[in-house]
Amino acid sequence: MADVAKKPGQAKKSKALESINSRLALVMKSGKFTIGHRQALRSLRKGVAKLIIIANNAPPLRKTEIEYYAMLSKTGVHQYNGSNRDLGTACGKYFRVCTLSIEDPGDSDIIRTAPIDSESK
């Protein structure tokens, strides 16, 4: 009965969140990444970032700055559908993560499967 009361779009969102979380866990094990706003900007300036993930409660100015740098370096940006606490937990960390830069996905296929928001605008 409880499953019937759920909204149809809610199941799809949670399924997508599980998918990105599992791919993120694989990146943390086998790939190369940096955590943090300043580190993400550095990797964008160097041109080594393949994908940037931003939490949904990041400050708007910070989001805009990272999206601008990503546009210049032709890097994908994914708006994570969760807070910075959720993103930190998905990364396997015990602290909040607002910005995550993936430099090498390792065994994960997160770069091909993550819905990139910058292309849809």
Judge residue 3's burial from the number of C-beta atoms within 10 Å of its C-beta, 0-12 exposed, 13-18 middle, 19 or more buried. Answer: exposed
Mean pLDDT, the chain, rounded, equals 87
> How many C-beta neighbours within 10 Å does residue 105 have?
20
Reported pTM: 0.82
Of 45, 60, 56, the C-alpha closest to 101 is 45
pLDDT range class, residue 8, cuts 50, 70, 90: low
Cβ distance 31 to 108 under 8 Å?
yes
Give whole-number Cα distances, 89 to 20, 22, 39, 49, 106, in Å.
12, 12, 19, 22, 20
Q: Check residue 71 and give its pLDDT.
A: 96
76-117, pLDDT tens digit by residue? 999 999 999 999 999 999 999 999 999 999 999 988 887 666
Confidence check: pLDDT of 59 > 50 = yes
